[in-house]
């Protein structure tokens, strides 16, 4: 076996195998399901931590899963020594997106939320000491500036003032989030272009397509006018053009939307949203499965493994929570993503 | 005969009682019609309630189950981040309206919480579905309250109708009959007495 094959095999072996998920779904209870994780090389990471807590406490369980997930990400990045890579640095900002957005919303509506030291501790593993600054930010403007600095995207003070004033007039923080996501993906796309790797450019393009579709659906429920749609649409999508998206927004005709994305819209319109759970991961995976291992320490392969780790976290959360909430295992079996 | 009721065996009282019975019978007729109408309305509302409750419960189960799947797949941080910006609370106005003299509540949704801060598309869909269902839930509550008020009023009406039909009117009719008998007896006695006096007067005249 060549070094490349061995290295790739080792990286892949840290991911929980599909068979383990199947066996977990057959377990009688949560404890049995957790103990099955100990038999899988990738699952031991989760097993060791979950075994130390009371898994019947959903809040704690989900936090531990998130903690282990970030540990695995940190381990992966340090093992392939790509921590300083520009693309990955921007890519990983998605892992603190929800925290930044909740702080932004809280400060916008003049509420106060505390970031727990537990959360800060978890995030420091990946983002270092600069994450501590986040806990000190209070004004929306400061949080926006912080986010732009994280994604290495320069925006003028006037731009920030402008989007804040639009959000104030709309009394709607979704607009701010949509603008932040747009900035994030523009920055990520630029970094992907710098790597000149088609896989990354295309993957970012797919993520942009899905984000645009989701943004349009939310914007419709908020009755956004055309000029705002224009502001939140992210350029450089892979399969849908800006004009196609605007035409869809105006006429609600999905015939122009590529077939791969149509279920996302159809399920949303029919109110059958649970069918959409995990669908985007399936789309990403379909795209990433064609990846060839020429270099296991290359950024595309690392991103592929990162996506698998995200899917692993999603699968685990879904399976373990299904025991807590008594969800139908057959249905869960259809929703987990096997790779 | 109603206990404690003082009876005057006079024609005036008899006439008064007859008027009262006539009035009570008219009241009884009206109340019987009201009872029938209330029963018919209650049956309609119950039928409507059954259908509405089935729809609302099945929609609620569907939304709840979708939310559970979503909650199970999203991290708690993400869910919390989505919920931070929700402002305001649900405000409803309850107006009393009259249906056949029965005061029933009418619930009007005045303000819903502002959910514009939610940006996760799946959560938006669930919250929108829940918002639509909220209107139906309020209608269901209104209908249940309506049924409860009507049922209570029907119970009261039924008691009055039964009391009139089985106790008050028969009692009064019995009293009328008794007074009638007494008056007739008095009249007969008076007639006999007058006849005897007339006979005595006639005999005296013949003796002279």
What's the CA gap between B18 and A71, in Å, rounded? Answer: 96
What's the CA gap between A104 and A106, in Å, rounded? Answer: 5
Per-residue pLDDT of chain A (339 residues; tens, 9 = 90+): 567 667 767 777 789 999 999 999 999 999 999 999 999 999 999 999 998 888 788 888 888 898 899 889 888 888 877 666 888 889 989 988 888 888 888 888 888 777 777 777 777 877 777 788 888 888 999 999 999 988 888 888 899 999 999 998 888 888 999 999 999 999 999 999 988 788 889 889 999 999 999 999 999 888 888 888 989 999 999 999 988 898 888 887 888 889 999 999 998 888 888 888 888 888 888 888 766 656 666 788 888 889 999 999 999 999 999 998 888 899 899 889 988
Whole-angstrom Cα Rg for chain B: 35
Chain B CB within 8 Å of residue A116 CB: no
Tokens of A246: 């605007």
Instruction: Report chain B residues whose CB lies below 8 A from the CB of A273.
Output: 66, 70, 122, 125-126
* For range B178-182, the mean pLDDT: 93
What's the CA gap between A86 and A91, in Å, rounded? Answer: 9
* pLDDT tens sequence across B149-166: 999 999 999 999 999 999
**Nearest Cα to Cα of residue A325 among A56, A62, A60, A65:** A56
State whether B84 and A106 contact (CB < 8 Å).
Answer: yes
CA distance B68 to chain A (A): 7
The strand pair at B91-99 and B102-111 is best described as antiparallel
> Pick the residue with more confidence: B193 or A294?
B193
Q: Residue B197: what pLDDT?
A: 95
Q: Residue A84: what pLDDT?
A: 65
Q: Residue A161: what pLDDT?
A: 92
A-chain residue closest to B122, CA distance: A273
Instruction: Report chain B residues whose CB lies below 8 A from the CB of A323.
Output: none
Q: CB-based burial of residue A260 (10 Å sphere; 0-12 exposed, 13-18 middle, 19+ buried)?
A: middle
Q: Residue A82: what pLDDT?
A: 66
Does the pLDDT at position B104 exceed 70? yes
Instruction: Report chain B residues whose CB lies below 8 A from the CB of A59.
Output: 76
What is the reported pTM? 0.81
CA distance A272 to chain B (A): 8
Q: Residue B190: what pLDDT?
A: 93
A-chain residue closest to B68, CA distance: A325
Instruction: Report chain A residues whose CB lies below 8 A from the CB of B117.
Output: 105, 109, 172-174
**Nearest Cα to Cα of residue A181 among A82, A260, A101, A255:** A101
Interface mutation target, options B55, B61, B63, B69, chain A, most CBs of A under 10 Å: B69
- Longest CA–CA span in chain A (Å) reads 62
State phi, psi for A283 to the nearest 5 degrees. Answer: -65, -45
What's the CA gap between A181 and A201, in Å, rounded? Answer: 17
Q: Residue A1: what pLDDT?
A: 57
What's the CA gap between A203 and A222, in Å, rounded? Answer: 29
3-state secondary structure labels for all residues of chain B? CCCCCCCCCCHHHHHHHHHHHHHHHHHHHHHHHHHHHHHHHHHHHHHHHHHHHHHHHHHHHHHHHHHHHHHHHCCHHHHHHHHCCCECCCEEEEEEEEECCEEEEEEEEEECCECCCCCCHHHHHHHHHHHHHHHHHHHHHHHHHHHHHHHHHHHHHHHHHHHHHHHHHHHHHHHHHHHHHHHHHHHHHHHHHHHHHHHHHHHHHHHC
CA distance A186 to chain B (A): 19
ipTM: 0.84
Structural contact between residues B76 and B13, judged by C-beta atoms closer than 8 angstroms: no
What's the CA gap between B114 and B135, in Å, rounded? Answer: 16
Does the pLDDT at position B3 exceed 60? no
Q: Choose among B77, B114, B126: nearest Cβ to A273.
A: B126
Instruction: Report chain B residues whose CB lies below 8 A from the CB of A221.
Output: 124, 128
Tokens of B48: 């409507």
Q: Residue B28: what pLDDT?
A: 95
* pLDDT tens sequence across B34-70: 999 999 999 999 999 999 999 999 999 999 988 888 8
Q: What is the mean pLDDT of chain A?
A: 86
* Spatial CB neighbours of A97, under 8 Å, sequence gap ≥ 6: A184
Tell which A residues from 242 to 271 touch B, by Cβ distance under 8 Å. Answer: 268, 271
A-chain residue closest to B83, CA distance: A102
Q: What is the mean pLDDT of chain B?
A: 89
State whether A109 and B85 contact (CB < 8 Å).
Answer: yes
State whether A222 and B126 contact (CB < 8 Å).
Answer: no
Interface mutation target, options A58, A271, A309, A331, chain B, most CBs of B under 10 Å: A271
CA distance A106 to chain B (A): 6
């Amino acid at each position: 076996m060549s070094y490349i094959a061995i290295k790739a095999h080792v990286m892949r072996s840290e991911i929980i195998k599909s068979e383990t998920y199947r066996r977990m779904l057959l377990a009688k209870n949560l404890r049995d399901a957790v103990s099955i994780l100990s038999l899988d090389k990738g699952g031991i990471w989760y097993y060791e931590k979950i075994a130390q807590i009371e898994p019947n406490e959903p809040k704690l369980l989900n936090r531990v899963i998130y903690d282990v997930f970030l540990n695995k990400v940190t381990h992966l990045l340090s093992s392939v020594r790509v921590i300083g890579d520009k693309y990955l640095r921007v890519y990983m900002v998605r892992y603190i997106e929800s925290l930044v957005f909740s702080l932004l919303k809280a400060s916008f509506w003049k509420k106060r939320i505390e970031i727990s030291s537990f959360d800060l501790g978890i995030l420091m593993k990946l983002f270092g000491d600069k994450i501590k600054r986040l806990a000190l930010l209070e004004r929306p403007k400061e949080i926006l500036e912080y986010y732009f600095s994280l994604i290495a995207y320069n925006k003028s003070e006037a731009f920030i003032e402008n989007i804040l004033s639009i959000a104030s007039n709309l009394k709607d923080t979704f607009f701010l989030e949509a603008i932040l996501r747009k900035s994030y993906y523009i920055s990520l796309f630029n970094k992907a272009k710098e790597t000149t790797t088609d896989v990354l450019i295309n993957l970012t393009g797919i993520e942009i397509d899905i984000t645009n579709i989701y943004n349009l659906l939310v914007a419709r429920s908020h009755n956004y006018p055309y000029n705002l749609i224009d502001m939140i649409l992210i350029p450089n999508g892979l399969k849908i053009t800006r004009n196609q998206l605007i035409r869809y927004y105006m006429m609600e005709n999905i015939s122009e939307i590529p077939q791969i994305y149509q279920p996302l819209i159809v399920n949303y319109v029919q109110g059958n949203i649970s069918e959409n759970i995990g669908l985007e991961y399936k789309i990403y995976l379909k795209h990433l499965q064609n990846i060839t291992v020429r270099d296991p320490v290359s950024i595309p392969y690392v991103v592929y493994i990162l996506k698998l780790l995200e899917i692993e976290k999603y699968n685990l959360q879904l399976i373990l929570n299904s025991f807590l909430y008594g969800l139908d295992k057959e249905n869960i079996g259809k929703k987990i993503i096997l790779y | 005969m109603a206990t404690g009721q003082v009876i005057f065996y006079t024609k005036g009282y008899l006439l008064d009682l007859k008027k009262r019975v006539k009035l009570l019978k008219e009241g009884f007729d009206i109340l019987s019609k009201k009872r029938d109408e209330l029963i018919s309305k209650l049956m309609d509302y119950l039928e409507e309630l059954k259908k509405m409750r089935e729809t609302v419960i099945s929609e609620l189960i569907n939304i709840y189950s979708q939310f559970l799947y979503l909650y199970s797949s999203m991290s708690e941080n993400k869910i919390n981040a989505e919920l931070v910006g929700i402002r305001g609370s649900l405000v409803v106005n309850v107006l009393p309206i009259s249906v056949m003299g029965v005061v029933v509540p009418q619930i009007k949704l005045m303000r819903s919480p502002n959910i514009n801060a939610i940006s996760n598309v799946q959560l938006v869909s669930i919250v929108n579905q829940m918002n639509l269902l909220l209107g139906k839930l309020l209608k269901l509550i209104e209908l249940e309250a309506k049924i409860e008020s009507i049922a209570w009023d029907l119970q009261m009406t039924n008691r009055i109708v039964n009391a009139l039909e089985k106790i008050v009117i028969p009692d009064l009719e019995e009293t009328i009959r008794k007074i009638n008998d007494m008056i007739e007896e008095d009249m007969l006695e008076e007639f006999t007495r007058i006849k005897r006096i007339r006979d005595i007067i006639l005999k005296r005249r013949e003796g002279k």
